[in-house]
Amino acid sequence: LSYENFFKEWIELYQAKKLAPLSIQYGDYAVWQREWIKRKEVQKQIEYWKGELEGTPDLLELPWDKPRPPQFTGRGDIETVRLSKELADHCKSIAQKEGVTPFVFFLAAFQSFLYRYSGKEDLTVGTPYANRTRPELEPLIGYFLQIFIIRSKCEGSIPFVTFLQNVNQTMSNAYKNSDVPLDLIIHALNPARNPSFNPLFQVLFVYENITQSVINFNEAHLHALPCNTKTSKFDLTLFIIDHGDRLECRFEYCTDLFEKETIQRMLSYFHTFLKG
């Protein structure tokens, strides 16, 4: 949303328009957050996350190609596959039928896929949340992002629609306890630290809506260019990129652990899994 706000203001300035005054500044939000975490309410939310994540396995073991290095380096790469419009529409229609968002549908599908791939019934996946909970925060440019750690108990005997509703309920509870910064949750749980992997979760899920691919400045046009930074913040990140008329699945992966061919196969299997 910060990018959208930035380009919106840029276009208005380009057209010699005056920017609408902001009711608060990002600094006001930062001050509020520092004061809020001192209140009793924050402890209730911390207790929720402690109850939700206590006893979480330290590491989600996937079929790596290489031994894990003693320290996480952040070296990475990306692989992408595009879903057919028919498959994308069908996934969204199931989400609508079950009363969940496409985000929740694909998160549940990804967690089910990880269960099949790893054989682990108890697994956690991180997912970012914009955390702009008040209308006056909407037009601000700044860092509001929160990371939810979504824990799921997967069993092969559970129908997917049941699992989908379980994930939806977990997400609903997470939204109700969204004001606790991730570092406070990690501090409260105090997991064993290992420099070779991230505590509490090593896999991230991101759902992005990209409704406008070209930004117009009257006669000038701004196009996004693909950029591969050759980095990976986690062992594995799945980006579902929703362009409205098509969906892309993109794996950002740690090259210290995975070979390119392994990730390509994993993407192909995930595509097949979605069809199933």
- The 8 Å CB, 24+ separation contacts for 36-43 are 36/179, 37/180, 37/181, 37/184, 41/179, 42/179, 42/180, 42/184
Bridge partners, 207 (sequence order): 240
**Edge-to-edge strands, sheet with 236-242:** 76-83, 247-254, 236-242, 203-209, 122-129, 146-153
Q: What is the DSSP letter of 92?
A: H
The closest of 187, 30, 207 to 108, measured between CA atoms, is: 207
The one-digit pLDDT tens for each residue of the chain (276 residues) are 788 888 888 888 888 888 888 899 999 988 988 888 888 888 999 999 999 999 999 999 999 999 999 999 999 999 999 998 999 999 999 999 999 999 999 999 999 999 999 999 999 999 999 888 788 888 899 888 889 999 998 877 889 999 999 999 999 999 999 988 899 999 999 998 999 999 999 999 999 987 666 778 778 888 878 788 999 999 999 999 998 778 999 999 999 999 999 999 999 999 999 998
Q: What is the DSSP letter of 136?
A: G
Round to whole Å and give the CA distance between 265 and 276. Answer: 16
Name the pTM for this structure: 0.92
What is the residue whose two structure tokens read 């692989």? 79
Round to whole Å and give the CA distance between 69 and 67. Answer: 6
Query: What does the DSSP assignment read for 34-77?
Result: HHHTTSHHHHHHHHHHHHHHTT--S------SSPPPSS---BEE
Quick: pLDDT tens for 215-254: 787 788 888 787 889 999 999 999 999 987 789 999 999 9
